[in-house]
Amino acid sequence: MRRDATTMRKVLTLVLVATATTADETIPGVRLTRDDTDTTHTFADLWHDAGEQQDWVVETRRELHRTPELLFDEKQTAAKIAQVLTALQVNFTTGWAKNTKRAELAAKGFVSGEGGTGIVAQIGSGKEPCVLLRADIDGLPIHENVDSPWKSTEDGRMHACGHDGHTAMLLGAAAVLKRREAEIKGTIRLIWQPAEEGGAGGKRMVEEGVLSMEPKPQAAFGFHQWPFLPLGSIGGRPGPMLAATELFDIVVSGVGGHAAMPHHVKDPIVAAAHVVTALQAIAARETDPLSSAVVSVTMFHAGDAYNVIPQGARIGGTLRSLSTEGLQSLRDRVDAVVHATALAHRCNASIAWSADAYPPTMNDPELWKWATEIAAPASTENEVRVIDPTMGGEDFAFYAQEIPSVFLALGQGAKSFAPEPGLEFDTTVTVHNGRFVLHEDLLRRGVALHAHLALSYLDRAASP
Ligand SMILES: [Zn+2]
Ligand SMILES: [Zn+2]
């Protein structure tokens, strides 16, 4: 472990053992010991254990859902996670993922907090081998359009990507694993990471040493709820699963003037319009039709009067590719096309990229093969489906580019989810939508599968 100031601060904030309010029940209904002395941990064993945690995991998720917090501002969320871990007598450190790119995020239109809202817990021997489980904790700036007793109380903020569920299921896994601590052959590091939604919180965690501190994890696993797959199924793919993403802001600068005398100006609107058109050819005419590239212009702002040609025009959008090299070549081509097109229209252009482009989320092929065999009994289909990659981004990629990792999609799609009498929801609605609903039956599966993958991985790593 590095002995710099940050590390020392973390050591000092280490929470050792909390004083339990009752002998063996620190969260109502959750005991810290098991009656069962069986130390096998098949998926069925862990499914059983996860069932015992189900009620408070659901309740915790509902509590988190009521108070979503945005990028690097997840203070209440972090406090809740710390409270549960303390009750479970799990060792953890707080203060992870400082927001070192606040100004750059603001330049891209993101409102972000100061960070330090990440949490890292450890269960097991404290020695190698080590495996990492990751959950993301942030919500989105979206108005919730679902009426439920646990509807967001924060207008304009919503857990519309299910990170409340990810957070709760990893807390449930902490409870299951803590009760089996004696049978863990090494160390399980559990991390709750802020700012997945555009803030590269995962990158901050890696920079602060979550993968390099001792014991170093040899593998990482992460889950995302998936409304596009039926409830109970599990999916993923070896290699690229989610895209590398980049955001761009282009300013086309000309010379403004009277709209009636265009020969006295250098019109940035016409130049910018040609830029937008020229950008379309990069994906359509330059990219191998069998590979994947997205160049989407999503913003165009210029001018504010009928009779004035403005000085400049602004264009924004996003690039997507399934490889780091592919993303770089898109960047190179956007750069060349934008400058040359602006110049052809006697204007200049500048481009601002994002502070932290996301790499593609890559599932390590060898670990994938092993993990899908382990995860198969967790699926109602008794196998892990191979699904198509998506061009969405995911900052689990920052761990996956450092150590062998597997990211799995947990199917949650159902036309009817009735959590309580009188409530019925469709959980096939896509993420990042005000009508998105997390299917809570998913939580038990996530709890059990987190624990099953971690315990099985360490069994394998520890055996000669
Ligand atoms: Zn999302
Ligand atoms: Zn998400």
Domains identified in the chain, total number = 2
Phi and psi for 339 in degrees, rounded to 5? -65, -45
- 272 and 414 housed in the same domain: no
Q: Which of 301, 330, 353 is where one domain is finished? A: 353
**Ligand closest in space to the Cα of 392:** 1
The string of DSSP letters for 286-328 reads IS-TTS-EEEEEEEEEE---TTEE-SEEEEEEEEEESSHHHHH
- 233 and 131 housed in the same domain: yes
Residue 89: exposed, middle, or buried by beta-carbon count in 10 A (0-12, 13-18, 19+)? Answer: middle
Predicted confidence (pLDDT) per residue in 209-226, tens digit: 999 999 999 999 999 999
pTM: 0.92
pLDDT of residue 40: 84
416 domain residue, yes or no: yes
70 domain residue, yes or no: yes
- 248 and 235 housed in the same domain: no
Residue 265: exposed, middle, or buried by beta-carbon count in 10 A (0-12, 13-18, 19+)? Answer: buried
**Ligand closest in space to the Cα of 164:** 2
76 CA from centroid of ligand 2 (Å): 19
CA–CA distance, 273 with 269 (Å, rounded to integer): 6
DSSP state of 215: S
- 251 and 232 housed in the same domain: no
Helix (H, G, I), strand (E, B) or coil at 134: strand
Predicted confidence (pLDDT) per residue in 304-320, tens digit: 999 999 999 999 999 99
**Ligand closest in space to the Cα of 197:** 1
Phi and psi for 349 in degrees, rounded to 5? -140, 150
275 CA from centroid of ligand 2 (Å): 32
pLDDT of residue 37: 73
pLDDT of residue 463: 86
- 146 and 233 housed in the same domain: yes
23 domain residue, yes or no: yes
What proportion of the chain, given as a percentage, has pLDDT over 70?
94
pLDDT of residue 13: 42
287 CA from centroid of ligand 1 (Å): 27
347 CA from centroid of ligand 1 (Å): 37
To the question of whether residue 450 is assigned a binding role by annotation, the answer is no
Relative orientation angle of helices 163-179 and 441-462, to the nearest 10 degrees = 50
To the question of whether residue 301 is assigned a binding role by annotation, the answer is no
Q: Flag whether pLDDT at 21 surpasses 50.
A: no
Q: Which residues contact 357 (CB under 8 A, 6 or more apart)?
A: 244, 245, 246, 247, 327
pLDDT tier for residue 260 given thresholds of 50, 70 and 90: very high
pLDDT tier for residue 38 given thresholds of 50, 70 and 90: confident
388 domain residue, yes or no: yes
227 CA from centroid of ligand 1 (Å): 12
CATH at 39: 3.40.630.10
- 61 and 98 housed in the same domain: yes
- 49 and 164 housed in the same domain: yes
Q: What is the Rg, in whole angstroms, of the alpha carbon atoms belonging to the chain?
A: 24
Q: Which of 337, 353, 369 is where one domain is finished? A: 353
Residues facing 123 on adjacent strands: 188
- Asked whether the bond before 129 is cis by omega within 30 degrees of 0, the reply is yes
Q: Which of 292, 325, 353 is where one domain is finished? A: 353
CA–CA distance, 400 with 220 (Å, rounded to integer): 7
Q: How many helices (H) and strands (E) does the chain have?
A: 11, 18
Q: Flag whether pLDDT at 300 surpasses 60.
A: yes
Predicted confidence (pLDDT) per residue in 369-378, tens digit: 999 999 999 9
378 CA from centroid of ligand 1 (Å): 24
290 domain residue, yes or no: yes
- 217 and 303 housed in the same domain: no
CA–CA distance, 158 with 282 (Å, rounded to integer): 35
Q: Flag whether pLDDT at 24 surpasses 80.
A: no
To the question of whether residue 197 is assigned a binding role by annotation, the answer is yes
Q: Flag whether pLDDT at 52 surpasses 50.
A: yes
- 196 and 266 housed in the same domain: no
- Distance of CA 413 to CAs 3, 168, 230, 233, 444, Å? 46, 19, 4, 9, 15
8 domain residue, yes or no: no
- The encoded tokens of residue 370 equal 């092993």
- 279 and 235 housed in the same domain: no
The boundaries of the domain holding residue 80 are 16-241+360-462
pLDDT of residue 6: 47
- Distance of CA 37 to CAs 34, 182, 450, Å? 7, 11, 21
The stretch 83-90 carries a mean pLDDT of 96
Predicted confidence (pLDDT) per residue in 399-422, tens digit: 999 999 999 999 999 999 999 999
259 CA from centroid of ligand 1 (Å): 43
CB 96 within 8 A of CB 208: yes
194 CA from centroid of ligand 1 (Å): 12
CA angle 219, 77, 395 (to 5 degrees): 35
CATH at 255: 3.30.70.360
Q: Flag whether pLDDT at 177 surpasses 60.
A: yes
10 domain residue, yes or no: no
- 286 and 272 housed in the same domain: yes
The stretch 142-161 carries a mean pLDDT of 97
145 domain residue, yes or no: yes
Q: Flag whether pLDDT at 9 surpasses 90.
A: no
- 389 and 256 housed in the same domain: no
Q: Any alpha helices (H) in 37-74, and if so which ranges?
A: 43-66
Q: Flag whether pLDDT at 204 surpasses 80.
A: yes
